[in-house]
Amino acid sequence: MNTRVNDPMLPRSFRVQRVRRETYDTFSLELKPARGNGGYKFSPGQFNMLYVFGTGEVPISISGDPLNPQKLVHTTRMVGPVTQAMGKLKKDDIIGVRGPFGTHWPVELAEGKDVVIVAGGIGLPPLRPAIYYLLKNRDKYNKLILLYGARTKDEILYPRELEQWRSRFDLDVHVTVDRGTGDWRGNVGVVTTLIPKAPFDHTNTIAFVCGPEVMFRFTVIELLKRALPHNCIYVSMERNMKCGVGLCGHCQFGTTFICKDGPVFRFDHIKDLLEKQEI
Which residues contribute to the site for other proteins (CB under 8 A)? Answer: 25, 77, 79, 120-122, 149-151, 155, 176, 178-181, 184-190, 192-193, 197, 211-212, 214-215, 218
Strand partners, 96: 13, 51
Least Å from the CB of residue 50 to other proteins: 19
Residue 55, exposed/middle/buried by CB under 10 A (0-12, 13-18, 19+)?
middle
Least Å from the CB of residue 267 to other proteins: 18
CA distances from 269 to 110, 111, 260 (A): 18, 21, 14
Least Å from the CB of residue 197 to other proteins: 6
* Secondary structure (3-state) at 138: helix
Of the two residues 88 and 91, which places its CB atom closer to other proteins in the complex? 88
Provide the 8-state DSSP code for 109.
Answer: T
Of the two residues 67 and 79, which places its CB atom closer to other proteins in the complex? 79
Nearest to 262 by CA among 12, 8, 59: 59
Name 75's Cβ contacts closer than 8 Å, sequence gap at least 6.
Answer: 22, 26, 27, 28, 29, 63, 122, 125, 128, 157
Of the two residues 130 and 150, which places its CB atom closer to other proteins in the complex? 150
Least Å from the CB of residue 26 to other proteins: 11
Of the two residues 38 and 186, which places its CB atom closer to other proteins in the complex? 186
Least Å from the CB of residue 195 to other proteins: 11
Least Å from the CB of residue 201 to other proteins: 18
Longest dimension (CA), the chain: 59
Of the two residues 34 and 184, which places its CB atom closer to other proteins in the complex? 184
Q: Quote the Cα angle for 89-92-93, to 5°.
A: 40
Of the two residues 43 and 192, which places its CB atom closer to other proteins in the complex? 192
- Rounded distance between C-alpha atoms, residue 73 and residue 28, angstroms: 7
Of the two residues 65 and 238, which places its CB atom closer to other proteins in the complex? 238
Least Å from the CB of residue 136 to other proteins: 29
**Helices 128-136 & 159-168 angle (0-180, nearest 10):** 30
